[in-house]
Amino acid sequence: MGNFIQHLSERVSVIASDRLWLEDSAIQQLKTTAQLTHMVSVVGLPDLHPGRGYPVGAAFLSQDHFYPALVGNDIGCGMSLYQTDLAINKVKLDKLDKQLGNLDEPVDEDEWQQLLSLDPELAAKKQAVADGLLAAGLDLLQMRSLGTIGGGNHFAELQITDRVDDATCYDAANLHAKRVQLLVHSGSRGLGQFILRQHVDAHSHAGLASESEAAADYLRKHDAALAYAALNRAMIAARILRRLRCNGELVLDVHHNLVRPVKADGKSLWLHRKGASPSDQGLVMLPGSRGDYSYLLQPKAENGTASLYSLAHGAGRKWQRTDCKDRLFKLATPDQLSRTEFGSRVICADRALIYEEAPQAYKNLDSVLDCLLGADLVTVIARSKPLLTYKTRGSAADAVSTNHRKYRPGRVLPGCCQGLAVI
């Protein structure tokens, strides 16, 4: 494993190499987080970058207390991968672009019925999410955002397999190199933000004692948000599959932001992930920027202790969002950024966002992958490249956001939650 696992102190490690871009501020945030009361260990992953007070691309282990602020405001953010039956040789970008239409708008009743005809199990899943929200004291108004991607680095991307490294594992996952795959990256939308805001208003950034009522209350909301995020990704995928008139089979679905109880050395601990894939739940995707390759990985769970059973969840930002347009606007127009070196297309009508999400703003993905391979944490199953990336058609995504000040438990909006049994 060479020197890819670097110990900065007794409680702080990073998975890194001399080739990897790491900001000093991210390392400092990692060290500061390690000083929190009850913190046992922190690990920075190769996509580590500074966040709002706490680092992104990291895992944290604590005892007796856990920290909702480490999970952040997008509880359950993660990725799902689908294998479609859409043949690559029949794909035309202009047609795909037109078929996708606008995914920013919320799912109305007509579209919901069409989604149910494609996947009848969505009804039971949606009911379970609604039940979880109500049990946690959360507003069903949140359901309105289900099936929408959101802003920032969230996306839905059609991909094609570029290279297969492990044909046995690739075939076992029912993947097909001559058919398009769909990768969805999204989370709990405004729900996670609302839950974090409630916590910070009541407890600031302090941790919660494991056996406290405040901890139990947060975990009910946290778990409801995890279920919401998973359903959100499933509904995004269903919308896309229906519009493209194709079928899809789920290959994987993982969360990147969460906290969960774990056992280690006979101790009851809390594992936090902030921008990190699990290494103990099967296959994961390591996506690049929209102008880079992505990799399907098989984690080596037997070597997971050094990384707190966590892996990089992407390339990781290299530039701050506020710097991107100033760095790039003289070099590329939004229209130019909507085309990549792969010949793929990026749907992003938000002129600021297309600069913020430019490939140049992210680390080189191979440098991240090299660290995971060097630390013997993964093997590569396949490499894929983008075909069409959907970000936003405009500002409609903002209109979907819930107005949390209008909090009325049990409220149901027409056109978004019909069929739900609400008492």
Q: Report yes or no: 308 and 41 within 8 Å, Cβ to Cβ.
A: yes
Q: Within 10 Å of residue 335's Cβ, how many Cβ atoms?
A: 8
Sequence letter at residue 230: A
pLDDT at 125: 98
Distance CA 403, CA 195 (A): 13
CATH numbers and ranges of domains, the chain: 77-254+277-400 (3.90.1860.10)
Angle at 320 between CA 314 and CA 325, to 5 degrees: 110
pLDDT at 2: 60
What are the mean pLDDT values of the chain's consecutive 10-residue runs (423 residues total)? Answer: 87 95 95 97 97 96 98 98 98 96 96 95 98 97 96 95 98 98 98 97 95 98 99 98 98 99 94 98 94 96 97 85 76 83 92 82 90 98 97 63 35 33 24
pLDDT at 336: 81
**313 in catalytic set:** yes
pLDDT at 395: 55
What are the φ/ψ torsions at residue 358 (nearest 5 degrees)?
Answer: -60, 145
Active-site entry in 49, 222, 272, 313: 313
- For residue 3, what are its two tokens? 């020197």
- For residue 410, what are its two tokens? 């049990």
Distance CA 124, CA 352 (A): 38
- For residue 327, what are its two tokens? 């760095």
Sign of CA dihedral 57, 323, 145, 253: negative
Distance CA 31, CA 422 (A): 46
pLDDT at 295: 98
* pTM score of the predicted model: 0.92
